[in-house]
Amino acid sequence: MIERITRLLEEAEHLQATNTEELEALRLKYLSKKGILSQLMADFRQVPAEQKREVGLLANKAKDALTERFNVLKAQLAVAEEDHSGLDLTRTPYPIHLGTRHPLSIVKQEIVNIFQHMGFSLADGPEVEDDWHVFGSMNFADDHPARDMQDTFFIESHPDVLLRTHTSSVQSRVMEQSQPPIRVICPGRVYRNEAISARAHCFFHQVEGLYIDRNVSFTDLKQVLLTFAREMFGADTRIRLRPSYFPFTEPSAEMDISCNICGGEGCAFCKQTGWVEILGCGMVDPNVLEANGIDSSIYSGYAFGMGIERITNLKYQVKDLRMFSENDVRFLEEFMAAN
């Protein structure tokens, strides 16, 4: 009996199972009701009384060894089954498509970079503004059409609070808080109460610039805008300035560039004129300087503003403004190479 138990202990040390079927076979052979261990316990009744203590201790040792070995093999198989054939378990369970910057963000940053290289600093301001910074400080008359509800989004509970219609409000805040020389570029989102179509939207993006110092002239403005146009659209780009009117500048002008599609020869995009309008500009009206705490007898300045969507249209020939805000991944993926 003692020899049988000793052999059983040696077998327990060397038991192996490579899968659940082999493990179950070992359980049936050694630990089941009809297994070797149960048979050993049944034969224990035949052991002489003087040997029962020794044989009993040895039999219990064999039972513990077999049980422990079975549990070890079971744990090893469980770990092996969790090993997914060398897969990287830190990866996500589904593929992630790489994103890309929005075309408006790409063009905005390009515009900002050009003007920053010319010495302009970046300025920002709130999109929800008061009437003074949007209209009053910019020399808008009290009865100017831009103040009407059909053009501007006013906050119903606060008649003097509105969504800014241009980023000129940022220029006003900069002039209030600092003295010349001032040279800032102001990008941001603006809102106007317009019907949404391929050519217009109720919100869009602008970049406005302001330079105030002693002896600033229209010639300075023209040179800065020519440099911008050639940096943005190519070294062969030409510009022309046409007289216009804005409440906050005098004299005022609208700037055209030679069509970057036909090279100024005339095409459907430029309506056969060879020119495309891109921005408005002018010398800062003295009334604006005075309203914002700057002495117009000492300082002068120029300002300009452009729509980022307009520049993006010219750069990438996007004909429908609505595509910029519809979040169509197929459209956005077209600009991946521009990042």
Q: Is residue 287 packed enough to be buried (19+ CB in 10 Å), middle (13-18) or exposed (0-12)?
A: middle
pLDDT at position 318: 81
Radius of gyration of the chain (CA): 41
- Residues 172-225 have pLDDT tens digits of 999 999 999 999 999 999 998 888 887 778 889 999 999 999 999 999 999 999
- Which contacts qualify for 74-79: CB closer than 8 Å, 24 or more apart? 74/23, 77/17, 77/19, 77/20, 77/23
pLDDT at position 69: 84
- Residues 107-117 have pLDDT tens digits of 999 999 999 99
pLDDT at position 146: 67
Q: Are 69 and 13 contacting, i.e. CB atoms less than 8 angstroms apart? A: yes
Alpha carbons 174 and 233: distance in angstroms, whole number: 29
Alpha carbons 71 and 55: distance in angstroms, whole number: 24
Q: How confident is residue 8, by pLDDT bands cut at 50, 70 and 90?
A: confident
Q: Strand 158-163 vs strand 182-191: parallel, antiparallel, or unpaired?
A: unpaired
Higher model confidence: residue 245 or residue 326? Answer: 245
- Residues 304-337 have pLDDT tens digits of 999 999 898 888 878 788 888 888 888 888 877 6
Q: Are 126 and 281 contacting, i.e. CB atoms less than 8 angstroms apart? A: no
Stretch 6-23: mean pLDDT, rounded?
82
Q: Are 73 and 26 contacting, i.e. CB atoms less than 8 angstroms apart? A: yes
pLDDT at position 302: 97
pLDDT at position 180: 94
Ranked by mean pLDDT, the top range of 102-106, 195-199, 260-264 is: 102-106
- Residues 64-89 have pLDDT tens digits of 888 888 788 888 887 766 655 566 66
Q: Are 103 and 335 contacting, i.e. CB atoms less than 8 angstroms apart? A: yes
pLDDT at position 147: 62
Stretch 224-249: mean pLDDT, rounded?
94
Is the model's pLDDT at 233 over the cut of 80?
yes
H-assigned helices in 14-161: 20-30, 36-43, 52-82, 103-117, 131-134
CATH 3.30.930.10 fits 103-338, yes or no: yes
For residue 90, CA distances in Å to 78, 82, 94, 96, 148 come to: 20, 14, 12, 14, 57
Q: Are 245 and 252 contacting, i.e. CB atoms less than 8 angstroms apart? A: yes
Stretch 11-31: mean pLDDT, rounded?
83
Q: How confident is residue 296, by pLDDT bands cut at 50, 70 and 90?
A: very high
Q: Where are the domains of the chain?
A: 2-82, 103-338
pLDDT at position 83: 56
For residue 235, the tally of other CB atoms under 10 A from its CB is 7
